[in-house]
Amino acid sequence: MVLERHPQNPIIRPQDVQPTRPDFEVIGAFNCGATLFNDEVILLLRVAERPKEVIPGVVRCPHLNPHGELTILEIPRHDDRYDFGDSRFVLNRQTGELWLTSISHLRLARSHDGVHFTIAEQAWLYAEQTLESFGVEDARITHLGGQYYVNYTAVSRYGIATGLACTTDFESIQREGIIFPPSNRDVVIFPQKMNGMYVCYHRPMPGMFGGYHIWMATSTDLKHWGEHRVVLEAKPDGWESGRVGGGAPPIYTEAGWLSIYHAADRHDHYCLGAFLTPHDHPETIIRISREPIFSPQAPYETEGFFGNVVFTCGAVAQGDLLRMYYGAADECVALAEGSLADLTASLEAV
């Protein structure tokens, strides 16, 4: 395997992160966007919190109410209109309405060595509007034209959408609205224009029918997207049979753009794969990993909040050194390192 786990993994755990309020506890610090900023590695962690106080027989669901205030809905476990089978959410069987049992925000962490991180004490981006009322998740950071664009999953009772924010200094933040309506996440934006257009990969989750594939879109301004087409499909069998989706924003190499993506099988066993596209043709995969480049093996990946998950939202390249930050078991942040050239060379021609 080209990418080697760092000996200090996991490098960030939930207990390393201070909750945003004293009555909340952090249950996950994972799926982080990553970029180089000045001489530091910057991560935007997904921090998942839940109300600390446990009330026997009651499930508590944090969310923004219509006035934008953080509120906790309490649902008694004996209310048989609801399905409590998955601890991550509560489902109203009749209406299909869903509530999450935790709420996520984005948290800044910074490091000079890429391994030891100083984690901010408060949120960098917190839910603040209707389409984020269940939280904001899974940031990807793209450095483009002097700006850092941060796309993130905006979750609400309207579904799973993708929002965009923008910063130059990681202090002031400008929200740019919802760029993909539900259900769509795992958006990764290329750090350069191609053929005069901005380009991204995105991953619709179609209702009715249709699989969970990686699509491409173009834009003139990063806010309005079109020219949608399929780039990489989930497969009928094997490690990519449940879904594929963008992971780290594509990395420029001599050989082409390197994309590290995630895949899950029908049992929600998540792995990572990689593919290469020509410099001017992001729609055409020329080399790809036939087998996963990275699979859950370490205990912090196979066990935990949601075991058997490795999921990257960002990697940083310095010369030939690739540092891939990834969420392990939907609980903590881990790091794997390797040679960019070796990883690219390991891919097979399509």
What is the footprint of a second copy within residues 168-207 (CB under 8 A)?
A: 177-184, 202, 204-207
Half-sphere exposure of 309 (CA within 13 A, CB side): 21
- Cα 62–chain centre separation: 21
Member of 124, 149, 225, 257 binding a second copy (CB under 8 A): 225
Nearest to a second copy of 54, 208 (CB atom): 208
| Alpha carbon distance 202, 189 (integer Å) | 9
Output the smallest distance, CB 226 to a second copy, in A.
Answer: 4
Output the smallest distance, CB 82 to a second copy, in A.
Answer: 14
Q: Please choose, from the candidates 135, 116, 102, the residue with its C-alpha nearest in 3D space to the C-alpha of residue 16.
A: 116
Member of 57, 66, 85, 226 binding a second copy (CB under 8 A): 226
Output the smallest distance, CB 244 to a second copy, in A.
Answer: 13
What is the footprint of a second copy within residues 292-331 (CB under 8 A)?
A: none
What is the footprint of a second copy within residues 240-269 (CB under 8 A)?
A: none
Nearest to a second copy of 42, 222 (CB atom): 222
Nearest to a second copy of 171, 237 (CB atom): 237
The structure tokens 């799973």 sit at: 160
Output the smallest distance, CB 42 to a second copy, in A.
Answer: 26
Member of 111, 130, 192, 253 binding a second copy (CB under 8 A): 130
Member of 77, 112, 224, 281 binding a second copy (CB under 8 A): 224
Nearest to a second copy of 119, 161 (CB atom): 161
Report CA torsion sign: 320, 143, 138, 10: positive
Pairing of strands 287-288, 98-100: unpaired
Q: Please choose, from the candidates 196, 199, 193, 191, the residue with its C-alpha nearest in 3D space to the C-alpha of residue 215.
A: 199
| Alpha carbon distance 296, 269 (integer Å) | 8
Residue 173 structure tokens: 């933040």
| Alpha carbon distance 99, 104 (integer Å) | 13
| Alpha carbon distance 20, 51 (integer Å) | 11
Residue 192 structure tokens: 């350069």
Nearest to a second copy of 108, 187 (CB atom): 187
Nearest to a second copy of 117, 261 (CB atom): 261
Member of 66, 78, 208, 319 binding a second copy (CB under 8 A): 208
Report CA torsion sign: 306, 32, 262, 203: positive
Angle (CA) 17-161-81 rounded to 5° is: 85
DSSP alpha helix (H) spans, 63-172: none
| Alpha carbon distance 109, 260 (integer Å) | 22
Output the smallest distance, CB 124 to a second copy, in A.
Answer: 23
Output the smallest distance, CB 110 to a second copy, in A.
Answer: 31
User: Is residue 133 part of the contact set for a second copy (CB under 8 A)?
Assistant: no
What is the footprint of a second copy within residues 145-164 (CB under 8 A)?
A: 156-161
Member of 54, 56, 66, 95 binding a second copy (CB under 8 A): 95
- Cα 178–chain centre separation: 16
User: What does the per-residue mask of binding to a second copy show for 13-42, with x meaning CB under 8 A?
Assistant: ------------------------------
- Cα 218–chain centre separation: 20
Nearest to a second copy of 208, 349 (CB atom): 208
Nearest to a second copy of 181, 299 (CB atom): 181
| Alpha carbon distance 148, 142 (integer Å) | 6
Report CA torsion sign: 327, 150, 69, 22: positive
Nearest to a second copy of 116, 223 (CB atom): 223
Nearest to a second copy of 237, 254 (CB atom): 237
Residues that bind a second copy (CB under 8 A): 91, 95-98, 130-131, 156-161, 177-184, 202, 204-213, 215, 217-221, 223-230, 236
